[in-house]
Amino acid sequence: MTGFLSNLVQYQGLFRMITVLGIGGTFQIGFQISTITYMSQHVKAFINETWLERYGHPIQQDNLLFLWSFIVSIFGIGGLLGSSGSRYLTVKFGKKKCLLCNNVLMIVAASIMGCSKISQSFEMILIGRFMCGVSAGLCVPLHHQYVGEISPRKLRGFANSTSSFFWTLGKAIGQISGQRELLGSQALWPLLMASCGLPALVQLLTLPFFPESPPYLLMQKGDTEGCKKAIRQLWGEGQHQAEIDDIMKEKATMENTKILSVLELVKEPAFRWQLYMIVTLTTTIQLSGINAIYFYTFEVLQAAGFDEKMASYMTLSIGLSELLAAVVCSSIIERLGRKVLLRGGYWIMGSLLAAITVTLSLQDWYFWMPYCSLALIILFTVVFAVGPGGATVSTRVEIFKLSCRPPAFVISSVLTWLGVFVIGTTFPFLVERLKHFCFLIFMVVLFTSGMIIHLFLPETKGKSIMEITEEFNKLNFKNKKIPATPNHVTEDYTFCTRL
Task: Assign 68 to helix, strand or coil.
Answer: helix
| Arithmetic mean of pLDDT over the chain | 79
| Predicted pLDDT at 113 | 92
| CA–CA distance, 113 with 309 (Å, rounded to integer) | 25
For 174-200, what is each residue's pLDDT tens digit? Answer: 878 887 778 878 888 899 989 989 999
Kindly report whether the global pTM for this prediction surpasses the value 0.85: no
Q: What is the DSSP letter of 270?
A: G
The mean per-residue pLDDT over the stretch 38-61 comes to 86
| CA–CA distance, 90 with 102 (Å, rounded to integer) | 12
Q: CATH number of 258-480: 3.40.50.300, 1.20.1250.20, 3.10.20.30, 2.40.50.250?
A: 1.20.1250.20
| Predicted pLDDT at 487 | 45
Question: Would you state the CATH architecture of domain 10-210?
Answer: Up-down Bundle (1.20)
| Predicted pLDDT at 76 | 78
Q: What is the DSSP letter of 459?
A: P
| CA–CA distance, 30 with 60 (Å, rounded to integer) | 31
| Predicted pLDDT at 9 | 58
For 441-493, what is each residue's pLDDT tens digit? Answer: 889 999 999 999 988 888 877 676 777 778 888 888 776 655 544 444 433 33
Q: Which amino acid is at 165?
A: F
Task: Assign 236 to helix, strand or coil.
Answer: coil
Q: How do the domains of the chain map onto residue ranges?
A: 10-210, 258-480
| CA–CA distance, 171 with 187 (Å, rounded to integer) | 22
What confidence category does residue 62 fall into, taking pLDDT thresholds of 50, 70 and 90?
confident
In this predicted structure, the answer to whether residue 405 has a pLDDT above a threshold of 90 is no
Q: Which amino acid is at 60?
A: Q
Do domains 10-210 and 258-480 share one topology? The answer is yes
